[in-house]
Amino acid sequence: MAPFDLRLLRQVPQTRRPVAVLGALGALGGLATIASAFALTTLVVSAVRGSDLTWPAVATAGAFALRAVLSWTTERVAAWAGARVSTDLRAELLRTWLSRPAEQRPDPDEALTLSAQGAASVEPYVAKYLPTLVAAAVVPPLAILCLLVLDWPSALVVVLTLPLLPLFAALIGMTTQADTDRRWRALSDLSGHFLDVMAGLPTLVSYGRGERQVATIERVSQRHRRATVRTLRLAFMSSAALELLATISVAIVAVLVGLRLTHGQMDLWVGMIAILLAPEAYWPIRRVGAEFHSAADGAQAVQSILDEISSEPGDPMGQRRAKGGEPGRVVATDLGYTYPAGQRAVLDGVSLRLGSGLTAITGPSGVGKTTLLELLAGLRTPSAGTVDAPACHLVTQRPFFGATTLRDNLTLGNDADDASVWEALRVVQLEGFVASLPQGLYTAVGDDGFGFSAGQRARLVLARAVLSGASVVLLDEPTAHLDDDGAAAVHEALRTLCETRTVIAVTHRSELVTLADHHVHLGADRTGRSATSVSTAAASGEPA
Ligand SMILES: Nc1ncnc2c1ncn2[C@@H]1O[C@H](COP(=O)(O)OP(=O)(O)OP(=O)(O)O)[C@@H](O)[C@H]1O
C-alpha cells in the first residue's frame, strides 16, 4: 500500500486544494519547529553565559507561539480537508457507478461498504495521516541539513540510523497489509449480511427465524472484532519498536555530544542545538508509523475508490445514449439480453416502437418484462440490438424512500419550487392529502416510506416522475400489492400523467391494460425466442 496515491489529485481534482493547503501548513510547521530549536538554544546558552536575554526570549516566545498557531490551524484545516476529500471521493464514486450499466456495478454489500464506511475512513486518513506525512517530508531533511552545517558527526549518526525507521515501518506495514485486507473483508461481509437481515427481518420474524440471525450476526461481528484487535495489537507493537529505535539513535547523538562537551572539543551552543535537532529528525517518521495504522483503512479505501473511479466501463451509458433521444419516443430494434451469470438469453429479437400515451406491457412471470424496462432505461447494456430513447425515469417495483422530508423525497435534491411540487401532487391526486398534513411538504417520511400507505407511496413515486421532467416514464408493476381502490387511484393518476408524458407500465392487471392506449405482450415462441405481439388499440384482452 503506497503512503499516498497520487491518482487522488489527478482523478479527483477537487481534492487538490485541501491537500495543497495541508501541505503548505505542514511545511510552515516544519520550519517553525526548526526555528524554535534555534531560538531555545540561544536562550539557554545566553542564560548560562549571563548575556542579555531580551531578544532570545522574544524569539523563543515568538517561535513557540507560531508553532501553537500553526498546529491549531493545521488541526482545523485538516478536519475540514478530511471531510471535504471524503465527501468528494464519495460523490465521484457514486457518479461513476451511476454512469455505468447495472452489470458493471459492484454487488450492493460491496458498494455499501466502500461508499459508506470506506469513504468515511478517508477522513482520518486525510485529517491525521497526511499532515504527518508532510511533516516527515519536510522536518527531517531540514534538521539533517542544519546538523550537517553545524556538527557533521551528529548528522552522520542521524543519516545512518534514520533510514532504519522507514525500513522497519515498511516491514511492519507489509505484515499488517494481510490483516487490513482480512479486516476489510470481514467488514464487507458484516455490512452485507446485516443489510440482508434488515431487509428480510419482517419475513424472518413472521416465520419465527429472527432469533437465528442473532447468532450469525454475532459470529460475523466476532470475526470483525478479532481482526480489529489484531490490527490494533500490531499498531501498538510497531509504534513501540519505532519509538525504541528512535530513542536509541537520539541517545547515541547525545552521548557523542556529551563526550565532546566534557573534553572541551565542542561549543555549548552547537552541542545543544545538535541535541535539540536530532529528535526532530526522528519524530515525524515515528508519527507516520503510528498514524499509518489508524489510517490504514482509509489508505485501503482511497485505493479501492480510485480503482473504481479509474476503471473504464466497457460501454459507458453516455455513449449508448448519445445517438438516442427524440423526446417521448422509444425504439427497440432486435433487442437481446443475457444476464452475465445466465446461460440463455432472457430476451431475444424484441422490436418495439413506442410513443405518446400509456402503453401496458404484459407477459407471463419471468419472461423478461423488468429486464426490458431496465434496457429501455439504459440501466443495462443490450447483448444484441439497439435501444433509441431519451433519458427515461424508471420507477422500480421497490422505489427508494429516504428518511427525510416529503419534499426531498419528491424532488430527490433537484431544484424544484413549491409550486411545481404542488402541481405534481395534483397530477397524482395527493394535493389535498398532503395539504391536510400538519407539516405539509415538510412532513417527515420514514425509511422505506414508513408512515404512508402502499397506495400513497405508489402515487408519491408518480409525483416524483412528474418532477423529474423526463419525457418517458417507465413503471414496473405500479399497482402491485394494492387493493382495488388503491389501484384505481393510481390508474387515474397514470391517465393524467400520460397526457404530457410517454408512460410505459409493466402490469399484471387487466384494468390497466383496458385503460392503456397501446398493449405490448411479451411471450416466448416455440423456439424459445422472446416474441412481442403489439396491439395499438385500447387493449381489451386479458394480460396473460
Ligand atoms: N440478476 C439476474 N441474474 C440472472 N438472471 C436474472 C437476474 N434477474 C432476473 N433474471 C432472470 O431473468 C428472467 C426475467 O426476469 P424479469 O425480472 O425480467 O422477469 P419479469 O417478466 O419481470 O417477471 P415478473 O413478472 O415475475 O416480475 C427470469 O428468468 C429471471 O430469473
Containing H/E element for 308? helix 268-310
* 353/242 same-domain check: no
- What is d(CA 236, CA 227) in angstroms, rounded to the nearest whole number? 15
Q: How far is the CA of 393 from the centre of ligand 1 (A)?
A: 20
Choice from 338, 343, 346 to test ligand 1 binding pocket (greatest atom count within 8 A of CB): 346
Q: How far is the CA of 123 from the centre of ligand 1 (A)?
A: 40
Which among 339, 168, 178 has a CA at the least distance from the CA of 249?
A: 168
> The C-alpha cell of 483 is what?
387493493
Residue 360: predicted pLDDT: 92
* Domain containing residue 157: CATH number: 1.20.1560.10
* 79/50 same-domain check: yes
Band of pLDDT at residue 318, cut at 50, 70 and 90: very low
pLDDT tens profile 271-310: 999 999 999 888 888 888 777 766 777 888 888 888 888 8
pLDDT tens profile 33-90: 899 999 999 999 999 888 888 899 999 999 999 999 999 998 899 888 889 889 999 9
User: Is-contact 382 335, C-beta < 8 A?
Assistant: yes
Residue 474: predicted pLDDT: 93
Q: How far is the CA of 372 from the centre of ligand 1 (A)?
A: 10
3-class DSSP state of 383: coil
Query: How many domains does one find in the chain?
Result: 2
> The C-alpha cell of 54 is what?
531580551
Q: Strands 518-524, 357-362: parallel, antiparallel or unpaired by DSSP?
A: parallel
Band of pLDDT at residue 196, cut at 50, 70 and 90: confident
Ligand 1 pocket, CB under 6 A: 339, 341-342, 346, 363, 365-371
Cell 526555528 belongs to residue: 35
The answer to whether position 154 is within a domain reads yes
- What is d(CA 539, CA 397) in angstroms, rounded to the nearest whole number? 23
Nearest CA to ligand 1 atom 14: 368
Nearest CA to ligand 1 atom 29: 366
Choice from 348, 371, 395, 396 to test ligand 1 binding pocket (greatest atom count within 8 A of CB): 371
* 289/329 same-domain check: no
- What is d(CA 338, CA 90) in angstroms, rounded to the nearest whole number? 31
* 57/130 same-domain check: yes
Residue 265: predicted pLDDT: 85
Which among 154, 107, 101, 74 has a CA at the least distance from the CA of 378?
A: 101
- Atom from ligand 1 closest to the CA of residue 397: 27
| Residue 358 β-bridge partners | 503
Sign for the pseudo-dihedral over CA of 486, 492, 496, 501: positive
Residue-number span of the structural domain to which 417 is assigned: 321-535
* 393/473 same-domain check: yes
- Atom from ligand 1 closest to the CA of residue 508: 25
Which among 286, 301, 272 has a CA at the least distance from the CA of 113?
A: 301
Residue 314 makes CB contacts below 8 A (sequence gap 6+) with 104, 381
Q: How far is the CA of 346 from the centre of ligand 1 (A)?
A: 8
User: What percent of the chain lies above the pLDDT cut of 90?
Assistant: 18
Band of pLDDT at residue 531, cut at 50, 70 and 90: low
* 344/294 same-domain check: no
User: Is-contact 326 490, C-beta < 8 A?
Assistant: no
Q: How far is the CA of 195 from the centre of ligand 1 (A)?
A: 22
The answer to whether position 273 is within a domain reads yes
